[in-house]
Amino acid sequence: MLKKLLMSATMLLASAQLSGAADLGSMSWDQIVAQAKQEGELTWYVWYFQDDFRREVKAFEDAYGIKVTIPVTTLNGNTEKLMAEREREKGDIDAFAWDWDLLTTVKPASLFYALDMLPKDEGRVSTLSGTDSNGRAFAFWGNQTGIAYDPAKVKAEELPQTAEDFAAFWQAHPGEFGFNYENGGSGPSFYQNILRVVSGTDFTDGSDNDSHLAELKPGIDFFNKYADDYVITVSNADSITRVSDGELAMAPAWEDHLAGLQKRGEVRKEIKFYIPQMGMNGGGNAIAIPLNAPHPAAAAVFVNWLTSAETQSMLNRNFGSAPMNSAADDSYALVPNEQRKYRTPWGAQPFRSKVETYFVENVVQER
């Protein structure tokens, strides 16, 4: 159902929406701020860290006197709602958070305002992981997969960087490395990048025919060869917990997830994180304003605040997310900037989904 809704999104022709977008674009920023304060409220549809974001947006509410409501929702639920409401004169969504990769499934101009009404800020990010929003969305959250490790068990100079390095670590330390294949993307990022470098398969090619999948055989054989030496975990959280508890020495993780758990005292602060040179997937999340937003001026002021260097610095400090404004302070990130050159884009669909099924059938179920 979700895929059908995404693929069916076309140009919105409702004149009220189009005229609303034009009106906002013709206003000065001071006029937009004044109208935003008159509107007095906005609803932000974001699917994660909802309780945390309710605390963070208090700074915006105090600065502008505009109330922000964050409903209890999910990513799929938000997406379905956006698509279901797209031809209504007024929808319920003012500010819309989305996985950046999902922008490739729609025509952004048919759904979202052009954000050129915001004050100029060269530090903002409108192109991420090879996808250009064409000014219809900005990134507000950077995420990165990598490897969490216990420095008491693994020295920094001995961290595995290549597929061969990981195989050597597995053999030298059997049962001390684990990864998940479901319930979170950190494990899939790890095994898919191993498959990529061992097999030489082009993950940017989304075709899912049998011949493309067959190219993965060297990587599948690699995992099966060392199946007794690594552990399969239940989820992202399970992997990190096992590292923190000392059961595992290393496991794939999300940078922001690990940072958040450490900040809340749920994972030992001693646990470190790095991006191996072979590459692991990273990306981010988008913020946009639907064309039929009921409070478009308030949403514009909110997007301006959320993507500012100051707020991006705050999110890095409080969550460990990679800042999505080049002028922001990233000193609270878990990895230095020079390691971010190892970030790789997620595989293209539908090949990526087929790879996940293929891996489960030919590796996980063969253990």
Res. 230: pLDDT tops 90: yes
C-beta atoms surrounding 211 within 10 Å: 7
> Please, are residues 298 and 36 in contact by the beta-carbon 8 Å criterion?
yes
Q: Residue with structure tokens 């490739």?
A: 104
What is the three-class DSSP state of 68? strand
| pLDDT tens for each residue of 297-337 | 999 999 999 999 999 999 999 998 989 999 999 888 999 87
**CA–CA separation, 137 and 115 (whole Å):** 7
Residue 9 region, left (φ>0) first, then alpha (ψ -120 to 50), else beta? Answer: beta
Band of the pLDDT at 338, cuts 50, 70, 90? confident
Query: If you average pLDDT over residues 267-273, what whole number do you get?
Result: 97
Give strand ranges (E) for 191-249.
231-233
% of the chain at pLDDT higher than 90: 85
| pLDDT tens for each residue of 282-294 | 989 999 999 999 9
Q: Between 129 and 17, name the one with better pLDDT.
A: 129
| pLDDT tens for each residue of 233-264 | 999 999 999 999 999 999 999 999 999 899 88
Band of the pLDDT at 24, cuts 50, 70, 90? confident
At residue 319, φ and ψ (nearest 5 deg) are -125, -20
% of the chain at pLDDT higher than 70: 94
Res. 14: pLDDT tops 70: no
**CA–CA separation, 344 and 144 (whole Å):** 9
CB within 8 Å of 100: residues ≥ 6 apart: 128, 129, 131, 137, 139, 283, 284, 285, 286
Band of the pLDDT at 93, cuts 50, 70, 90? very high
Mean pLDDT across the chain, nearest whole number? 93
Res. 153: pLDDT tops 90: yes
pLDDT for residue 6: 52
pLDDT for residue 361: 98
Res. 189: pLDDT tops 70: yes
At residue 181, φ and ψ (nearest 5 deg) are -110, -5
Distances (CA, A) of 15 to 94, 135, 299: 18, 21, 20
Res. 15: pLDDT tops 90: no
Residue 212 burial (10 A CB sphere; 0-12, 13-18, 19+): middle
